[in-house]
């Protein structure tokens, strides 16, 4: 059997009406607080044949212990449900989506060290091969010209002239090395600047993410304060109404 709670009902009055007990109704409906029922709710009435005891359920209340205000749900009950719904929407724990990338870039930046090995520099190798080829050609040309002046026979003079031409080209090549070193250092510096720029960019994205989360959390907490304050206010009003109800009942008891 079921029964829909009406305005003014208590568990005691309901138990008397159906010749059962407050404990039986509370147990059948999983009511933990026997002094807390709501107008409009439906109760299952167990088939218990025993004298009703009014001592355990003499209070007709809404959330917070106040008098039932009528209607399907009291304002305090609705406020309590709003608080419960708000608690379920709590933001998840903050996680920085950019932290790992920032750490990786910082590690790469801090571990950088400049070194220059000409034999691993494509520009150096290109210059070296060209100058060496030109030097050999110049040496052959100079030696040939010197040999022609002496009747076309190879001699120490022609060889010395050729070596001199070769040496001049290689000397010119040696002056390229400082320029290549400086160019390599400029590239190293540019790569470092690029890393710093990327760190700044990703850090700004991280800051924006945190600001959005922080704003959402502040809005959530602000909403929660409003809802809980409203619930506390309505519960207090219900409690005051209940006390007034008890005074009225004393007059007519």
**Model pLDDT for residues 170-202, shown as the tens digit of each residue:** 777 788 888 899 999 999 999 999 999 999 999
> What's the pLDDT band for 207 if we cut at 50, 70, 90?
very high
Q: Which range has the top average pLDDT, 40-54, 73-87, 129-143, 172-186?
A: 172-186
Least confident interval from 68-82, 119-133, 193-207:
68-82
Mean pLDDT of 230-235: 83
pLDDT, residue 208, reads 96
Ranked by mean pLDDT, the top range of 20-24, 79-83, 105-109, 138-142 is: 105-109
| 184 CB-near residues (< 8 Å, 6+ apart) | 116, 121
- The pTM for the full model equals 0.51
| pLDDT-wise least confident of 32-36, 58-62, 201-205 | 58-62
pLDDT tens, residue by residue, 15-50: 888 888 888 888 888 888 887 787 788 898 886 543
Residue 169 has pLDDT above 60, yes or no: yes
Task: Give 57's pLDDT tier (boundaries 50, 70, 90).
Answer: very low
For helices 122-149 and 176-252, the axis angle rounded to 10 degrees is 170
Least confident of 68-82, 107-121, 126-140: 68-82
Say which residue the tokens 């159906």 belong to.
18
Neighbours of 37 (CB within 10 A): 23
Which of 31, 33, 40 is CA-nearest to residue 59? 33
């Amino acid at each position: 059997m079921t029964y829909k709670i009406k305005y003014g009902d208590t568990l005691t009055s309901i138990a008397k009406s159906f010749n059962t007990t407050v404990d039986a109704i509370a147990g059948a409906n999983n009511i933990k607080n026997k002094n807390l029922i709501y107008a409009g709710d439906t109760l299952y009435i167990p088939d218990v044949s025993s004298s009703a005891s009014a001592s355990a359920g003499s209070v007709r209340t809404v959330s917070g212990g106040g008098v039932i205000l009528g209607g399907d749900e009291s304002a305090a009950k609705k406020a309590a449900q709003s608080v419960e719904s708000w608690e379920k929407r709590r933001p998840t724990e903050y996680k920085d989506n950019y932290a790992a990338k920032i750490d990786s870039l910082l590690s790469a930046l801090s571990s950088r060290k400049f070194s220059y090995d000409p034999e691993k520099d494509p520009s150096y190798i290109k210059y070296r091969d060209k100058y060496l080829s030109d030097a050999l050609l110049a040496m052959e040309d100079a030696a040939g010209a010197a040999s022609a002046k002496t009747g076309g026979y190879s001699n120490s003079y022609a060889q010395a002239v050729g070596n001199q031409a070769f040496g001049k080209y290689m000397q010119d090549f040696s002056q390229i090395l400082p320029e290549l070193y400086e160019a390599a250092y400029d590239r190293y510096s540019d790569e470092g600047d690029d890393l710093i720029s990327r760190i700044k960019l990703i850090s700004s994205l991280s800051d924006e993410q945190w600001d959005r989360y922080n704003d959402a959390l502040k809005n959530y907490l602000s909403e929660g304060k409003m809802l809980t304050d409203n619930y506390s206010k309505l519960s207090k009003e219900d409690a005051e109404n209940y006390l007034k109800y008890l005074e009225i009942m004393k007059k007519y008891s």
